[in-house]
Structures are given as structure tokens and as C-alpha cells.
Amino acid sequence: MQFIGKILGFILGYKLFGGFFGGLLGLIVGHWGDKKLYELGSVSSSLFGKALTRQSLFMQTTFAVLGHIAKAKGRVTENDIQLARNLMASMRLDDAHQQLAQQAFTLGKEADFPLRQVIKEFREACGQRNDLLRFFVEVQMQAALQDGHLEPSEQQILFTIAETIGMSRFQFEQMLAMVAAAQRFRSGYYQYGQHGSHQQRGSYQEKNYGGYQTHSNGPTLEDAYSVLGVTADDDQNTVKRAYRKLMNEHHPDKLVAKGLPPEMMEVAKEKAQQIQAAYDLINKTKGWK
């Protein structure tokens, strides 16, 4: 429980420094202590072992579920394997962590892979931190959508994951639409660079994401709304609030502090760039400043 330090800190501060403001000082110190205990604490998994760091559990759970989704189509293709390799490369895993990731991917392919149990233990290890859990689901959705088509078996696995961490069907469908739209920003002509946004037309083939359609001329304004989870009828303040909320949820440093492996910071940064690109496109089209 991540509030014991806060309670003890408030009580000690109240007694030692006399009064409410002393208690507030103790509360701040206690909050810092709770945070450090969370970051340094170990977690257990019935599948991956005991005394794991949260970062290690996040990484192994990610690759195990990737293997499970890949196997759901009937057989694991070379594209599925290459996707896992690309993720390992982008994370710059050393040899030891690559081996752990490969072992986890293999475990996920097993017919008796206990998906609900693995996700339930992962949720508990994350301390119910919704932004970290949502980011995990997004990573799995992105992987499933890489080939441009979402099989019913893949979608069912994704929903099982979302349901197990506490998402409703509506929240799941909304996130899936947001991730599919973000994929189009990743592969389409509208991209976000280090010095701001710019439009760059490139070759983009029409794809179907289990009902979510992309377009040959790149992402559309409708895609931009989907990325932010808003509609064309929403006003500027509503769109801005949605944008700020998503950027806060995908802040790499905050996610790492909550259990995201530092190696996955680039994934979080890329997601933030997609959110920024969508927001820039809406502002430019609407003439907002």
C-alpha cells in the first residue's frame, strides 16, 4: 500500500513540528518515501519468478503477450518474429535481457498460456496505476495492428487484457480507434519533427484495421480527432484538455518512475509525437492558436 508513508509522515510531522503545517511537511516527506519504496520494491510472478523489478516484469509480460497474440492467428509468422526483434532493437536490450524477452515470447506461444492470470498479476504489480496499464494495452494494440489487419482472435485477446485491467467495452473500443488512428500518423504523410510539425506526403497504402480504415493520401482530420478521443463538434478548450491529459499520461519520465522499462522510453516518446501531430493538425485546420 503506497500511503503508509504519507500517514506516518503526517503524524510525525504534526507531533515533531507542532501543528497542521508540520503535518503537511511530514506528508510531503512521506509521499517521497512511498514513491522510493515503490520504485525500489520487488514484485512476483507465477510465470516469470520472484523478486523481479517492475521494469523487468513489464518487459517480460510485454513480450509474452506479443507471443500469445502472434500465435492466436494459428501460427507465428516471420513478420511476427521480426516485429518482436524490432521492438528489442528499439529498446536496445543487452544480451541478457534479449534472452529474457525471447523466453517470454516463447512462453506466450504455449497453448496453455494463462493470459488472465498473467495480466492480473501484472495489474497488481503496477499498483493499479492506470496510465501505465493503459500504455501496456496500447503497446499490444500497436503490435496487433502492425500488419494492417486485426483478426477476431487478436481482438478478443486484446479485449481480455483490457477487461482484466478494468476497462469497459466502450473504453476498449475508444482506445482501439485512437491507436489505429495514431498508427496512421506514424505511417502517413503528417509527421511531427523535433522543430515542430510539418506535412510530408509519402507512399501510404490503404489498410483495414478490423473496421478502422486508413486512406491512401495519409491521415485525415477525422483521424486526428480519434487520436485525441474527441469529435469535430468539441470546442477548442475540450480538445486542448484532451491533448494535455494524453500528453501527461504518456510522459516518458513519469511512466518510467511507475514501472515502464527505461528502454521503452522511445516507444513512449513516439506515442507523444503522434498525439502532438494530431493536435497540430486540428489546430491548423481550425485556425486555432
SS3 121: helix
- Three cell numbers written together for 143: 503490435
Indicate the range of 37-41, 165-169, 233-237 predicted with least confidence. Answer: 37-41
Contact 209, 145 (CB under 8 A): yes
How far apart (Å, rounded) are the C-alpha atoms in residues 142 and 134? 12
- Which of 34-43, 61-70, 143-152, 243-252 has the least mean pLDDT? 34-43
pTM of the model: 0.65
CB 69 within 8 A of CB 145: no
Confidence of residue 107 (pLDDT cuts 50, 70, 90): very high
Burial 67-93 (b: 16+ CB within 10 A, else e): bbbbbbeeebeeebeebbeebbeebeb
Using alpha carbons, select from 256, 253, 262, 258 the residue that is nearest to residue 94. Answer: 262
pLDDT in tens, 174-229: 889 888 888 777 665 433 333 333 333 332 233 333 333 334 456 788 888 988 98
| pLDDT (0 to 100) of residue 103 | 93
Residue 136 pLDDT exceeds 70: yes
